[in-house]
Chains A and B, each alone.
Chain A
Amino acid sequence: MVDPMTKYSGFSLFKHALKHHEDWQKTWRSPRPKKSYDVIIVGGGGHGLATAYYLAKEHGITNVAVLEKGYLGGGNTARNTTIVRSNYLWDESSKLYDHALDLWYGLSQELNYNVMFSSRGVLNLGHNLQDMRDIERRVNANRLNGIDAAVLNTQEVKEIVPIINDSADIRYPILGASWQKTGGVARHDAVAWGFARGADQLGVDLIQQCEVTDIVVEQGAVTGVQTNQGFIGAKKVGCVTAGNSGVVAAMADIRLPVESHPLQALVSEPIKPIIDTVVMSNAVHAYVSQSDKGDLVIGAGIDAYNGYGQRGSMHIIEHTLSAICELFPMFSRVRMNRTWGGIVDTCPDACPIISKTSVNGLYFNCGWGTGGFKATPGSGHVFAHTVAHDDPHPLAAPFSIDRFNTGHLIDEHGAAGVAH
């Protein structure tokens, strides 16, 4: 059985300090898989763990396993640039992402785990007249949907980010920006760990090093999964496997409208605090923020080709850094520490798929592409509802896989932040 959770607090920190921090409770158990579960979640990243947490917390379904082929939060959860915002254009997506943003605001308290959410604001720069028209349109749409948004001019951008290059003589001058003050960044690992700890406490089995090799379907309904630890039965299976979604879907003979691409990011050496917000530019294709550790966290665009290799081509990084150096000339001598790639599952309309499938009891939550991190709590919340009730959450309903056949696409390429 699950031992009652040690509540993290200033007092518990003090108490454990007296014992040299040597007897902290393990953050989660590592149980052997049972023979069967009510629900199996495939994929132990942020979205999958959040799904398991909300299944147990809000729907009382605790006979749940999360199967993860590597370690928890070791995929895209560990590879993103941690930006949180909700300034999407269309009603469907802005409601979904704003639902997530609402959850971000209480998440550390909800989970009793510091996810280090910092609402430091997000700027999306515009560099030409068309950019600015698009920004005006998006900000107006956001405000109609009750999302905090504003259009800034060059001087206002300069006031928020004094180190930015506001010269009119650069190749892509800054004409203004959209500004979501309630957006920001969070600690990516902590989000996964917080949801994992919360789910574990509610009785969810988190099983690592457990790779699903087949989804077993009998008479049109899912009965369980084959794994490298043997067969595990399940009444319902929810797949939350990001870049590998197509591979997992193929196990159940389902085709998805997603393509997997490498998306690269990099961090610099740690430097003193220099930028206290998030700056994104879709047009010159770069985004940057500074972590609490001091490194600049920089994101690039996707590599155009399909790839599962968790790495991309160098010229993509070069392109991003040249844009960063133009926007922030003072960064030109900062050395970069590490670069890596994550595999993002991009949809043709840059929106996710949160959906039932043609197989009874099989659900997919995928297609988040380049921008899934910001949605982590909201994604898990609406997907848990979808799985628990076998009926999409009202916010998830527009993101059914059927939209690619009905034609009701939700084109978010403009707001997705990363050009495709």
Chain B
Amino acid sequence: MLHIYCPYCEEMREEEEFSYSGEAHIVRPKDPKSLTDDEWGDYLFFRTNPRGLHHEMWHHSAGCRRYFNVTRDTSTYRIYETYKIGEKPIVTGEKS
């Protein structure tokens, strides 16, 4: 069971209150009609699915019902940070 800090409620809550919504920071194309089939398929279906650091979207579905982002390691399941929609992650795995 993951314990997740909701950045809106500012509380640590149990995983059952949340639902998972997949990879974060995927931007819907502004003009879908101008996209080729390859670009559209890529937007819809193709994901990075890394073994390691992953930025992902969660929904506090049994709480404040707001979306936020989580930086989590997909092999250890350790959560490094949670942050609001629109904010940028601090932990990116890239050396500064």
Contact = CB atoms under 8 A, between A and B. Distances in A.
A305 B38 CA distance: 26
Contact of B77 (A247, A260, A307, A314): A307
Nearest to A314: B1
B94 to A, nearest CB: 16
A74 interface: no
- Closest 3 interchain pairs by CB? A405-B41, A304-B20, A257-B45
Nearest to B36: A405
Interface string B46-62: 11111100101000000
24 contacts: A246-B48, A247-B50, A255-B46, A255-B48, A256-B49, A257-B45, A257-B46, A258-B49, A259-B49, A260-B51, A306-B23, A306-B54, A306-B56, A308-B51, A308-B74, A308-B75, A309-B75, A309-B76, A404-B41, A404-B44, A404-B46, A405-B38, A405-B40, A405-B41
Nearest to B41: A405
Contacts of A405: 37-38, 40-42
A404 B72 CA distance: 27
Interface of A: 244, 246-247, 255-260, 304-309, 313-315, 348, 404-407
A407 B41 contact: yes
A314 B1 CA distance: 6
Contacts of A315: 1, 15-16
B33 to A, nearest CB: 15
A246 B48 CA distance: 8
Contacts of A306: 23, 49, 54, 56, 74
B92 interface: no
Contact of B51 (A244, A313, A314, A404): A244
A237 B42 CA distance: 24
Given A255-B48, A258-B47, A315-B1, 16 more contacts: A247-B50, A247-B51, A255-B42, A257-B47, A259-B22, A305-B20, A305-B56, A305-B74, A307-B74, A307-B75, A307-B77, A308-B75, A313-B2, A404-B44, A405-B38, A406-B37
B79 to A, nearest CB: 10
B37 A313 contact: no
